[in-house]
Amino acid sequence: MGQSKLILTICPSWGPELPPLGIALLKSSLNQHDIQCDLIDFNIECYNKLKHQDRIRLWDKSNLDPWLCPQRFEHEILPLLEPLIDQLVNQLIAHPAPYIGFTVLDSNVWVSNIVADRLKQHTNKVLIAGGPETTFKEPRVKISKSFDYYFVGEGEQAIVEIIRWLDSNKNKPSPQGVYSTMGELCIDRQFVQSSLNQSVVPDFSSLLLNTYVENALPIITSRSCLFKCRFCSDFKSMGTFRKLSTDHIVAILSHYYKLGYRKLWFNDLLINGVMEELCSAFEKLANNGQRFTWIALATPNKQLTSTHLNTLKSYGLQTLNLGLESGSNDVMKMMKKGFNQKYCSEALQRIFESKINTQLNIIVGFPGETEDHFLETLQFLDNHKQYISGFTSINSCIALPGSFLSDNKERYAIQFPENQDPSLWFSVDNTPEIRANRLSRLKQWIQDNHYNIYASNQAD
Ligand code: SF4
């Protein structure tokens, strides 16, 4: 491989626990085509360089508002990051790579924009934005025009085409999914999917792996989801449901094992669709003496059979994070969760009997949720306390851009305030205040029952 063509970077804020999987997958894909790429995890650099108290405050997942609100970002975060941003910009300018790619999401869009703006003043390197912030038109309008291009879709295949296209001086049409920021940003764009075989094994080699909080590596074995919950945009931002083969999973995990890792965090939206492959892969690995402990997300329905659960437990599954969202049958149905109270109750019991921990996600205030529905959720939690280990994500319902809810405002009779903030939608019987009140009472229940909360979109 020759000189580095591309730097891929992710700005704060993003989870400091594990190395970023997305850019490691892109690097792996480029490796296969002999295109050299370097990774810079600016997020972890900032996390490790800031004072302990700032780090704890700013990377608190139950209070991302200072990263999201431009005014709070400017006053509370930017002064702390200024010197580090300058260092990064100088590093990027001095680097020989002519192209720089940014993973942009709602919690790092302001830092990414500042880095892009400063780079644009001093270099003519090509700047490309990709990631969740560029997928849907509503958040995309926030990206700076200092980026030359934005990309919509999964980048593993496209990144190779983009580099070749840029290298050819753009003497042919741009690759699918690549758009100039000079054009309209607020426009629906088709999502470009990649073949999952493009990146065989994520390549973390240019990251300092000992700088992350957890001694674990991330893996993703499937894309998108089997379900289409009405409030969710995640499944849409990953194309159609696809999964890795058993052998592919074995190849990735054998590599991780050789790197010395024994702990995994699955990034799959849920593992319900890949249970057979996981059982076979972990069996093969165990036969080679390679054992892991791991955590993953799932949905509590009939797909979680006792046989699968017992097998996966024997191969190191410690915790399942379940997107319960509500304990009310009516709300589960309105959300199109794909399970009901009975399925969920039985799944919680099976998971418990398999000695796997259960973490729950809850959303309060979906359109149509009444006070009685909310009380039903509290009652459901009360009735299943013995099966619950903790709470991962406790949120007030947001009309996320790209979700069915956001795309069908008339159907749900919801309106937005003038600033279009998707968290402040309201209807005749559902307001941000009503949702905040329910969320506070849910938090009180969680506190009274001595559980922890990992993340919430409403600060205390
Ligand atoms: S909320 Fe979870 S189960 Fe529902 S569509 Fe999204 S990822 Fe799938």
CB–CB of 250/284 below 8 Å? Answer: yes
Question: What six digits make up the tokens of 263?
Answer: 């702990």
Three-class secondary structure of residue 320 per DSSP: strand
* Whether residue 229 has its Cβ less than 6 Å from ligand 1: yes
Alpha-carbon Rg for the chain in angstroms? 22
* Whether residue 225 has its Cβ less than 6 Å from ligand 1: yes
Q: What is the pLDDT of residue 1?
A: 57
Give distance in angstroms: CA of 85 to centre of ligand 1: 35
253: CB partners within 8 A, 6+ apart: 219, 264, 281, 285, 290, 292
* Whether residue 362 has its Cβ less than 6 Å from ligand 1: no
Pairing mode of beta strands 178-180, 149-151? antiparallel
Q: Which residues of the chain have pLDDT under 70?
A: 1-2
Question: What six digits make up the tokens of 235?
Answer: 């499944």
For residue 225, give the ligand 1 atom closest to its CA: 8
Give distance in angstroms: CA of 338 to centre of ligand 1: 9
Give distance in angstroms: CA of 161 to centre of ligand 1: 31
For residue 232, give the ligand 1 atom closest to its CA: 6
Give distance in angstroms: CA of 6 to centre of ligand 1: 33
DSSP one-letter code for 179? E
Q: Please give the Cα distance from 304 to 306 (Å, whole number).
A: 7
* Whether residue 298 has its Cβ less than 6 Å from ligand 1: no
Tell me the best of 229, 320, 343 to mutate to test the pocket of ligand 1, counting ligand atoms within 8 Å of each CB and taking the most: 229
DSSP one-letter code for 33? T
CB–CB of 223/238 below 8 Å? Answer: yes
Write the class of the CATH domain 214-456.
alpha beta
Give distance in angstroms: CA of 235 to centre of ligand 1: 6
Report residue 119: phi and psi, to 5°: -65, -40
Give distance in angstroms: CA of 229 to centre of ligand 1: 5
The count of C-alpha atoms lying within 13 angstroms of the C-alpha of 128, restricted to the half-sphere facing its C-beta, is 22
- CATH topology for the 6-180 domain: Rossmann fold (3.40.50)
Q: Please give the Cα distance from 319 to 357 (Å, whole number).
A: 4
For residue 228, give the ligand 1 atom closest to its CA: 5
User: Where are the domains positioned within the chain?
Assistant: 6-180, 214-456
* Whether residue 335 has its Cβ less than 6 Å from ligand 1: no
CB–CB of 303/272 below 8 Å? Answer: yes
Report residue 41: phi and psi, to 5°: -95, 90
Verify cis geometry, omega within 30 degrees of 0, for the bond prior to 13: yes
* Whether residue 323 has its Cβ less than 6 Å from ligand 1: yes
Going by CA atoms, what residue is nearest to atom 3 of ligand 1? 227
Give distance in angstroms: CA of 308 to centre of ligand 1: 20
* Whether residue 270 has its Cβ less than 6 Å from ligand 1: yes
* Whether residue 269 has its Cβ less than 6 Å from ligand 1: yes
Going by CA atoms, what residue is nearest to atom 6 of ligand 1? 232
Q: What is the pLDDT of residue 444?
A: 96
For residue 269, give the ligand 1 atom closest to its CA: 7
- Cβ-in-10-Å burial (0-12, 13-18, 19+) of 411 comes to exposed
Tell me the best of 224, 242, 269, 362 to mutate to test the pocket of ligand 1, counting ligand atoms within 8 Å of each CB and taking the most: 269
* Whether residue 235 has its Cβ less than 6 Å from ligand 1: yes
* Whether residue 234 has its Cβ less than 6 Å from ligand 1: yes
Give distance in angstroms: CA of 236 to centre of ligand 1: 10
Question: What six digits make up the tokens of 29?
Answer: 């894909």
